[in-house]
């Protein structure tokens, strides 16, 4: 176990180095970053003085090593738009995105598992074909288009859900204000319904197909036929014997999907003016607020790596045959 953890942590360090390198080089590809830190009317002398003061006159590898040293100390630079530490700006937006991601994932899992199982148990029947057809549609429709359609119909036309904004739940919860957090919960869920559906539909559709195919494979195994021949009820065969093994590929996909959802809410948050990290990155790119973009990329990379590690551990727990 410890050997596995050490190996994965070393791999994670290599991945993080690659992420920081790509985010740093992208800043250089966009041109001289000095112009981001000076006014449009700055003279040549002022620009050169700023370039020297910011260290952009040094060789590229020296700048990168200096950047890594600052990151290791928790210094991601100051936001050019907010005039405060970039990581602080990102962390303020993170709870809203985590709320949306968790709600989307719970919605997708809660619907995809029973739909996938029901389709597998009714293989070849019209209900199976109907569920798989809807799943294919769910995977084919872009989330931004679905978000816009829900925005127009359920938000503007019917007025069932708010079309923008967010009521915080995790932020007061983390602050220890449990009363405020749970008072905000209904409003928070009400604001998240449309964004969560737009974000989670693809995950719901793909997981339903994955659960169905995994269940069909497991139901054909010898141990399932043996359990049925012993007179065990069908519900117990499905839920106790089949589901445990059918879960393995599903757990892997769910863990990875959480990371993808964290990084894939940019357009949906922008459509619904949802104040999360996706909308923050979108605005930061438009405003060329590079420190905020870099801090966001690194934070999301760290979360994704941690999620992968947790998924591997859960996978081994579910299937003792898997040797770490």
Task: Give a three-class secondary structure readout of 75-115.
Answer: CCCECCCCCCEHHHHHHHHHHHHHHHHHHHHHHHHHHHHHH
Domain boundary at 27, 44, 72, which?
72
Q: CA 63, CA 32: separation in Å to the nearest integer?
A: 13
Q: Indicate the average pLDDT of the chain.
A: 77
pLDDT at residue 113, rounded to an integer: 81
| Reported confidence tier of residue 207, pLDDT bands at 50, 70, 90 | confident
For residues 308 and 251, is the Cβ–Cβ distance under 8 A? no
Q: Taking 80 as the threshold, does the pLDDT of residue 119 lie above it?
A: yes
For residues 42 and 50, is the Cβ–Cβ distance under 8 A? yes
Q: Are residues 109 and 248 in the same domain?
A: yes
Q: Are residues 8 and 102 in the same domain?
A: no
Q: Are residues 10 and 140 in the same domain?
A: no
| Residue range of the domain that includes 150 | 86-318
pLDDT at residue 107, rounded to an integer: 83
How many independent structural domains does the chain possess? 2
Q: Taking 60 as the threshold, does the pLDDT of residue 323 lie above it?
A: no
Q: Are residues 61 and 120 in the same domain?
A: no
Most trustworthy range by pLDDT among 37-46, 169-178, 201-210: 201-210
Q: Taking 70 as the threshold, does the pLDDT of residue 36 lie above it?
A: no
Q: Are residues 132 and 273 in the same domain?
A: yes
Identify whether 80 is part of a domain: no
Q: CA 111, CA 196: separation in Å to the nearest integer?
A: 13
What is the four-CA torsion angle of 251, 256, 258, 264, rounded to 10 degrees?
A: -150
Identify whether 155 is part of a domain: yes
Q: CA 126, CA 99: separation in Å to the nearest integer?
A: 36
| pTM of the predicted structure, to 2 decimals | 0.74
| Reported confidence tier of residue 316, pLDDT bands at 50, 70, 90 | low
Q: CA 41, CA 183: separation in Å to the nearest integer?
A: 50
Identify whether 77 is part of a domain: no
Q: Are residues 44 and 94 in the same domain?
A: no
Domain boundary at 16, 41, 72, which?
72
Identify whether 222 is part of a domain: yes
Q: Are residues 137 and 33 in the same domain?
A: no
Identify whether 81 is part of a domain: no
Q: CA 103, CA 96: separation in Å to the nearest integer?
A: 11
Identify whether 265 is part of a domain: yes
pLDDT at residue 317, rounded to an integer: 66
Identify whether 98 is part of a domain: yes
Residue 41 tokens read as 């009317």
Q: Taking 60 as the threshold, does the pLDDT of residue 130 lie above it?
A: yes
pLDDT at residue 244, rounded to an integer: 65
Q: Which one has a higher pLDDT value, 322 or 16?
A: 16
Q: Are residues 46 and 109 in the same domain?
A: no
Q: Taking 80 as the threshold, does the pLDDT of residue 299 lie above it?
A: yes
For residues 248 and 318, is the Cβ–Cβ distance under 8 A? yes
């Amino acid at each position: 176990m410890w050997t596995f953890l050490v190996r994965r942590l070393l791999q994670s360090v290599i991945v993080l180095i690659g992420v920081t390198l790509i985010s740093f080089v992208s800043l250089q590809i966009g041109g001289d970053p000095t112009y981001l830190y000076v006014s449009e009317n700055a003279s040549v002398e002022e620009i050169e003085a700023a370039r020297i003061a910011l260290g952009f006159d040094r060789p590229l590898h020296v700048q990168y090593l200096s950047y890594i040293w600052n990151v290791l100390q928790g210094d991601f630079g100051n936001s050019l738009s907010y005039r405060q530490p970039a990581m602080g700006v990102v962390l303020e937006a993170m709870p809203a995105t985590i709320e949306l991601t968790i709600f989307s994932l719970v919605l997708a899992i809660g619907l995809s598992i029973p739909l996938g199982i029901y389709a597998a148990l009714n293989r070849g029947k019209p209900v199976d074909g109907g569920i798989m057809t809807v799943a294919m549609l769910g995977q084919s429709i872009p989330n931004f288009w679905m978000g816009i359609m829900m925005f127009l119909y359920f938000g503007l036309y019917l007025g069932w859900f708010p079309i923008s904004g967010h009521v915080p739940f995790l932020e007061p919860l983390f602050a220890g204000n449990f009363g405020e957090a749970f008072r905000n919960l209904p409003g928070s869920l009400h604001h998240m319904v449309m964004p969560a559906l737009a974000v989670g539909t693809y995950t719901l559709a793909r997981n339903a197909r994955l659960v169905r195919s995994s269940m069909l494979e497991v139901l054909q195994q010898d141990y399932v036929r043996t359990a049925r021949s012993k007179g065990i009820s069908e519900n117990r065969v499905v839920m106790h014997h089949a589901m445990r093994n059918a879960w393995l590929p599903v757990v892997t996909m769910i863990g990875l999907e959480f990371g993808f959802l964290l990084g894939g809410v940019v357009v949906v948050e922008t459509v619904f003016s949802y104040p999360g990290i996706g909308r923050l990155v979108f605005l930061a790119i438009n405003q060329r607020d590079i420190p905020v973009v870099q801090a966001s990329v690194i934070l999301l990379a760290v979360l994704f790596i941690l999620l992968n590690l947790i998924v591997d551990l859960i996978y081994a727990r579910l299937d003792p045959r898997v040797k770490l």
